[in-house]
Amino acid sequence: MATMAERGPEVLIGCGALRGSSRDGVAAFLGVPYARPPVGALRFRAPEAVEPWDGVREATAFGPTAPKRPYAPPLDALLPDPEIPGDDCLNLNVWAPWGAGPRSATERGGRPVMVWIHGGSLIRGSSAVPVYDGTAFARDGVVLVSVNYRLGIEGFGVFPDAPANLGLRDQIAALTWVRDNIAAFGGDPERVTVFGESAGAISIAALLASPLAKGLFRRAVVQSGAPLAQPPATARRTTQAVAARLKVPATAEAFARVDREELLAAQTAVTGKGSPLTGGHSFQIAVDGEVVPRDPAEALADGASAEVDLLMGTTTEEYRLWFVPGGTADRVGPVLQRLLLWKTKVPSRTARVYRAGRRREKPGEVLGALATDKLLRVPLNDLADARLRAGGGAGTYLYEFGWRSPVLGLGACHALELGFVFDTLDLPESRALTGPDAPRELAAAMHAAWVSFAGTGDPGWRSWDPARPVMTFGPGLPSLVEAPREAERRAWEGGGRGRESRRRAAR
């Protein structure tokens, strides 16, 4: 059921009627609950179905965000992260084309659907970030859904008396909601593409390996995140560290009695000194035997989700978001570089290849290039190779985002591609990273590739083959490059990158 009312467009879904807003042929339904609020007896429990409501529920404002703390300076100025109070944080947003109306689109089979899972190190981020506005996707014929999920200790704490991976369970509940309700918005539940960046991409890799998510999506986009998870005992160390700081047992029962603000303060203190390269306490996905039965990297290499079309890639200089604003790139000299490479088990022969090819770069920049490839680019290349060997019929496509931001010398850093993918470069929140003169034609090309992939499974370039084709978005016009920086990639062959180090990479 879909109607156009003066007060806003309305739809009827399984739990009741919703009223959203519309502008320029796009309808938006914001803050729609997909599970009950995770409070009281439901805190530290798997998501439960929403209770139906009477009347028409207003859906014109973003819903509450999961409990979190903002980014620390200087990242807080570069990565806006709205905080909306309230308990009903398990909510999502839908943007849909609204010209002829969803009913006629559904009769024709429905439009492609894209479901966005945000990043933020599993402790920050939300679907309310302005950069993630879904208007451009709906303008171009896609039904766009963005999801909130539980974060930090409440989403990824590991306890003996509660289910693990509650944040992943939330994402699966949201995808189930999409399957059951998206036709009301004109979407096709058989053409769902799940996409995400950083911790969102790591989540998607876990969903690709999860039997509980099987059949909930047809395609996936993994942006700047690699498949990884930890054994439960390892993943539990952060929970234990937070418990020690709070002086409570490391159980869900004890944590449920702790004031939420006190819990966030302890969580922030414990995780504040970690880094993608050197490690430290952080929240990670756990191999729990149910949602994630085994290491996602191993499962995907062995053919899990071989039938799912996969688009994945990185920015060229991921590391600069972590190394440049705080001055790390300038502080690292040759001695400290060698110490950090030894600590993170980078083979000396691999480091020599990078130094030889980057003689004009600072030691900290060479270290960052090694970190980018170790944690992200090489694992994704490995996965593409494994899918090619396994066959399976689904497409595999790789990209690299290389346009360099002039802001603070960030270059082609982590998260820079987001405003291009969503075609939201005109927003001040996007300009915080890109500056005012980011190339609109590059955003149009990248956004169009994501739309094409969602609709057809083909982003517009050659699928992965032994020549290693990678579509590069900048600098300059998009171009297909075969085997970029191949000498550096080959320098990792024969071991030396290690999944344990990659487990540290979740912004």
Report how far apart, in Å, the C-alpha atoms of 407 and of each of 77, 401, 413, 434 are. Answer: 11, 16, 10, 6
List the end-to-end C-alpha distance of the chain, in Å, as a whole number. 40
Q: Are 450 and 195 in contact (CB under 8 A)?
A: yes
- 313's tokens: 């890639």
Give me the residues paired with residue 22 across strands. 27
Q: Give me the amino acid identity at 402.
A: G
User: What counts of helices (H) and strands (E) characterise the chain?
Assistant: 21, 15
DSSP H stretches of helix in 224-259: 232-246, 252-255
Distance in angstroms (rounded) separating the CA atoms of residues 300 and 208: 8
Where in the sequence numbering do the catalytic residues fall?
A: 198, 318, 414
What are φ and ψ of residue 324, in 5° steps?
-90, -50
Secondary structure class of 474 (helix, strand, coil):
coil
| CA nearest to 190, candidates 308, 93, 47 | 308
161 sits in which H/E element: none
Q: b vs e for 306-319, b when ≥16 Cβ sit within 10 Å of the residue's Cβ?
A: bebbbbbbbbbbbb
Give the burial class of 83: count Cβ atoms within 10 A of its Cβ; 0-12 exposed, 13-18 middle, 19 or more buried. Answer: middle
Distance in angstroms (rounded) separating the CA atoms of residues 222 and 67: 25
Report how far apart, in Å, the C-alpha atoms of 229 and of each of 206, 285, 500 are. Answer: 8, 5, 9
Distance in angstroms (rounded) separating the CA atoms of residues 197 and 311: 12
